[in-house]
Amino acid sequence: MYKTHSIGSKISLLISILGPILVTQLSISAMNVADTIMSGQASTNDLAGVAIGSSLWMPVFTGLGGILYSITPIISHLKGAENLKEIPFIFFQAIYLAVVISIVLFFLGLLSIHPILNYMGLSPEVQTIASHYLLALSIGIIPLFIYTVCRNFIDAHGITRMTMIITLLGLPVNVCLNYVFIFGTFDFPRLGGVGAGIATAITYWLMAMISFIFLIKGQPFILYQFGTKLYPISIKIWKKLLVVGVPIGLAIFLETSIFSAITLLMSEFDTVIIAAHQAAINVASLLYMVPYSISMAMTISVSFEIGAKRVHHAALYSKIGIIMAISIGLIFSFGLFFTKGSIAHLYASSPQAVKMIQHFLLYAIFFQLSDAVAAPIQGALRGYKDVNVTFIVALISYWGMGLPCGLLLLHITDLGPFSYWIGLIIGLASGAVFLFIRLIYIQKKCRNQEIIF
């Protein structure tokens, strides 16, 4: 990350940052997809067990991982201010905090996983696979959260290409280890879906070690001399990280968990509708990777400029990011509209299912347009460290407005399963408008020097 002075150089830098972030996000998603697909090749029970385990794990990881995302705006802000002396100390505090969060999560998981799975009423075989998959995955919790800190720290410097390379290295390793442990090759026992958990845990350890070695020996991080000194625990810095991170983590958890809730509510409809809903969610989630990557790039660039006291340049990055996300969102919308039939045939073969998927994809167009507006604004506000508002808006727009609107439409109209999508679109669009107003307000405060960072 470096200072830029023209709009063209800002666009170029923003693209160079968000491109690797997008590839990294897709690679992480691909690991989860690989676990599911390869487990399905073992047996239907293995597929179901891994799918259940993943659906329970991902909202928890994204929420808690979001807490550790706080290091990105904090470090980027310090780098913009050229206050490099504090950076190594804060990095180690984030590592310590990640280890504590991991240990707490591990023991909470041991205590709660069986009651949760029992409540779901699964078959004994599927429940056993799901619990053992999560237990195997837990071996990698500590390195996963350490890697999350390292990744966010590296990204805060604008060197997102390095974290992309590390994640891309992890993907084939994960697939190869899946093959070994799921199917029992090279004289290893055949473990089915549980083997996917072991493979993923080992991959997390590898990615964490590579990240840490790069931070010790790679440029420009060698200047921090990470390998020469340990720092004492600082509750003050932990509090600083949590003040920024907890609202971010809660906002991300609210966003990811709402889709799990909608999926559960969809269970009252027939199998075709549920499958079509899941297909549309899958497409929308894939498209969301782009505005989400722009959002992360916005956090890095805006916080850097705010740290450098270049308020005008921070506002320019905000405008560029929002325009870029909306433009790409419009392109995706037209593409999705004209290819919805072809996309539907990728997920289903029966005419009834294909028709239903196409209906859901029409609503996915409006959903991802709202995302294209909301996501970059959230990233910019996090760059300004205005994180409490993004959490409150996520709570209200998804759970206070979107879900109730969906339930209301379900009972007073004939929209059926589409009611939930319309409710979420209403909530997300309303939240995007409020976030935009909030961003203008914060930028005005900064211009008038009414906010001191």
What sign has the CA pseudo-torsion 429, 435, 441, 447? negative
The whole-angstrom separation of Cα 134 and Cα 370 is 34
Quick one: CA dihedral 78, 23, 362, 339, positive or negative? positive
Question: What pLDDT is stored for residue 267 in this prediction?
Answer: 67
The pLDDT value given to residue 27: 85
Q: pLDDT at position 327, please?
A: 92
Cα separation, 303 vs 299, in Å, equals: 6
Residue recorded with tokens 């490099």: 84
Q: Coil, strand, or helix at residue 271?
A: helix
Q: What is the DSSP track for 119-158? A: HHT--HHHHHHHHHHHHHHHTTHHHHHHHHHHHHHHHHTT
**Closest-CA residue to 191 (of 304, 342, 39, 73):** 39
Q: Is 225 exposed, middle or buried, given 0-12, 13-18 or 19+ CB atoms closer than 10 A?
A: exposed
| Pairwise CA distance, residues 140 & 146, whole Å | 10
The three-state secondary structure class of 190 is coil
Residues whose CB falls within 8 Å of the CB of residue 159, separated by 6 or more in sequence, listed in order: none
Written as one string, the DSSP assignment of 325-368 is: HHHHHHHHHHHHHHHHHHHHHHH--SHHHHHHHHHHHHHHHHHH
Q: Measure the CA–CA gap between 313 and 304, rounded to whole angstroms.
A: 10
Per-residue pLDDT tens digits of the chain, which is 453 residues long:
667 778 888 888 888 888 888 888 888 877 877 777 777 777 777 777 887 787 778 778 888 888 888 898 889 888 888 888 888 999 999 999 999 999 998 888 888 888 888 877 777 888 888 889 899 988 999 999 999 999 999 988 888 888 899 989 998 999 999 889 988 888 788 888 889 899 999 999 999 999 988 888 888 888 888 877 788 999 999 999 999 899 988 888 888 788 777 877 776 777 778 777 777 877 887 788 888 889 989 988 898 888 888 888 889 989 999 999 999 989 989 998 898 888 888 776 778 878 888 888 888 888 888 888 888 999 999 888 888 888 899 899 889 988 999 999 988 888 888 898 899 889 888 988 999 999 998 888 888 775 555
pLDDT of 288? 85
pLDDT at 118: 81
Round to whole Å and give the CA distance between 284 and 288.
6
DSSP tag of 231: -
The Cα–Cα gap between 197 and 35 comes to 8
Distance, CA of 42 to CA of 212 (rounded, Å): 35
Measure the CA–CA gap between 128 and 15, rounded to whole angstroms: 45
82 φ/ψ angles, rounded to the nearest 5 degrees: 60, 30
Bond into 115 cis (ω within 30): no
Length of the chain: 453
Cβ-based neighbour number of residue 234 at 10 Å: 15
- What Rg do the C-alpha atoms of the chain give, in angstroms? 22
Amino acid at 282: N
